[in-house]
Amino acid sequence: MQDRHRGRVIGAALGLALGLAQGTLPAAAEVLLKQYDNGGIYEGEFRNGVQHGHGRYRLPSGYDYEGDWVEGRIEGQGRVRYPDGSVYEGHFTDGKPDGQGRIAYPDGSTYDGDWQAGEITGQGRASYANGALYEGGFRRALHHGKGRLSNPSGYVYEGDWVAGRKEGQGRITFPDGAIYEGPMKADQPEGQGRLTLPDGMIYEGGFHAGQMSGHGKLTQPTGDVYEGLMLDGRRQGSGKVSYANGDIYEGGFAEDRRHGQGVFRGTDGYVYEGEWKAGRIEGQGRVTYPDGTIYEGRFANDLPQGQGRITYPDGSWYEGNWNAGEIDGEGEAHYASGLVYRGAFRAGRTQGRGVMTYPDGYSYDGDWVDGLREGQGTALYADGTRYEGAFARGRREGLGRIVMPDGFIYQGAWRAGEIEGQGRAEYPNGDVYEGGFRAGQRWGKGVLTRKDGGRLEGYWQADRWLGTTPPPAETESAADTEQAETAAETPAQGPQSDPAAASPTTANPAAADPAAAAPAAGATSTTPASPDETPSPATLAPGGE
């Protein structure tokens, strides 16, 4: 091996000598071809036995350098191809890229700029295989200092870098047009910054790990403004929203929705104070409506639900159960007129069992359907009259019993608030009548038994006894029917005077019948007001956002 090397060197020396004889080479330089034990081959200039000047050095690995040499060292301008296919062209110092140079990698990426002791350090321009482009500072091949990075998607970062990471002050333009300006840490926005979105939304405040976190101000394109705490890009904690229309919410947030304790104030005077859950009014709270109505109690899904109390501007109020925003279940209602109802409700109207008390002393305890007395019940009048029995459509209808303070008692059928049908009447003077009635008068077949034992049995019409012969068949006139259906029931009026107090000695026994006066003690014709006849809360506003 040494002989072969020696032969090549000698051959090169002879060639050099010939060149010198002809005057074609400088006297101070030798051009030699030298092969080394590691397989490397140098072809170029020597001086004093070492590479000096221009030369080319190749290794079996594929390394190939051609350029300047100084006293055996690669130094100056040169070009090298590395085994991986990378190509560097530029300045070298002590065998390493140093100063200005350009390298191209097999994947198509390139760097053109400053080098230091074989490392990319200083100012430069890097083009990456994915199309990204960086211009700015480097240290040890990492982005460092001021720099600008852009990629084909439209993402652009301009600002500070530390050891390959975005850190310090910077500006990011996102592909969708959003812009962030502020501090960076570990490639992410961190600290107090500003984010502007394409739709016009602006956030100014804290960032953490790239997300809006901490205290900040969020301005929506609509003009709504939120000031408060943020977490991972969502409103979380306490905050205040000032809406463009003048409404204001101040209180808790969770997962970007109103949550916990909060107060909503509408420009129309609507105010809600209380609990929220997932953006909706839920839990215990108090709402004041623009008309002055106040509800305080439980809510669910933005509506009164469960136990609550509502007070109206006229002084009326209801306290009890609610369902889906309506008075529903057991409760107590006090009306401005003085009416008081305690009992069951459905959909805002009296329904089920309940007691209604009127300011004049009348009361009703019994069944209700859709705001009207219907079913079984007991009515007590201010004068002491008591009715127990059936009701329909707000009036006595069906079987019932009435007892008046003067001793008059009737038990039997009723229709549209009047004694009508078969029944039994006991008069204060001891007389008893059993038989038919119409519009409060004896009518049809019946028997009147006197206290003294006398009897009148037969047929009656308009309280008059006709005898034992049935009267001609008659058809009830439409006028009579209408009169019976609409007859007024006036609880404020006590029983009329009973003519039966006189001894029944007149020629016509019917004239002495006190039953003609009995219906005057009936119930009122005015249907008791139900809570839905006073203002009741509609759907509460606002809801979840």
How many other CB atoms are there within 10 angstroms of residue 357's CB atom?
Answer: 18
Residue 457 pLDDT > 90, yes or no? yes
Residue 83 pLDDT > 90, yes or no? yes
> Could you tell me the pLDDT band of residue 31, with boundaries at 50, 70 and 90?
confident
Closest residue by Cα to residue 530 from 291, 364, 293, 376? 364
Residue 184 pLDDT > 80, yes or no? yes
Say how many residues make up the chain.
545
CA 373/CA 365 separation, integer angstroms: 9
Question: In this structure, are residues 277 and 259 in contact, taking their beta carbons and an 8 Å threshold?
Answer: yes
State the Rg of the chain over Cα: 54
CA 446/CA 424 separation, integer angstroms: 9
Element (H, E) at 269: none
Question: In this structure, are residues 335 and 317 in contact, taking their beta carbons and an 8 Å threshold?
Answer: no
3-class DSSP state of 13:
helix
CA 346/CA 390 separation, integer angstroms: 21
- pLDDT in the model for residue 179: 98
DSSP 105: -
> Could you tell me the pLDDT band of residue 519, with boundaries at 50, 70 and 90?
very low
Residue with tokens 């090169």: 12
pLDDT digits (tens, 9 = 90+) for 304-331: 999 999 999 999 999 999 999 999 999 9
- pLDDT in the model for residue 30: 75
CA 535/CA 469 separation, integer angstroms: 59
Domain ranges of the chain: 1-106, 359-502+514-527
Q: Which two tokens stand for residue 33?
A: 């071809």
Residue 525 pLDDT > 80, yes or no? no
- pLDDT in the model for residue 476: 45
Q: Which of 111-120, 323-332, 499-508 has the lowest mean pLDDT?
A: 499-508
Same fold, 1-106 and 359-502+514-527: yes
- pLDDT in the model for residue 392: 97
Predicted TM-score of the model (pTM): 0.69
- pLDDT in the model for residue 29: 62
Average pLDDT score over residue span 166-175: 98
pLDDT digits (tens, 9 = 90+) for 253-306: 999 999 999 999 999 999 999 999 999 999 999 999 999 999 999 999 999 999
CA 179/CA 171 separation, integer angstroms: 7
Residue 464 pLDDT > 50, yes or no? yes
pLDDT digits (tens, 9 = 90+) for 357-370: 999 999 999 999 99
Residue 541 pLDDT > 60, yes or no? no
Average pLDDT score over residue span 381-398: 97
Higher pLDDT, 545 or 97: 97
What does the mean pLDDT of the chain come to? Answer: 85
CATH class of residue range 359-502+514-527: mainly beta
> Could you tell me the pLDDT band of residue 16, with boundaries at 50, 70 and 90?
very low
pLDDT digits (tens, 9 = 90+) for 33-52: 999 999 999 999 999 999 99
- pLDDT in the model for residue 474: 56
CATH class of residue range 1-106: mainly beta
> Could you tell me the pLDDT band of residue 73, with boundaries at 50, 70 and 90?
very high
Share of the chain above pLDDT 70, in %: 81
Please give the C-alpha separations between residue 264 and each of 216, 225, 280, 286, 460, in angstroms, as whole numbers: 20, 14, 11, 11, 71
Question: In this structure, are residues 535 and 317 in contact, taking their beta carbons and an 8 Å threshold?
Answer: no
Higher pLDDT, 513 or 193: 193
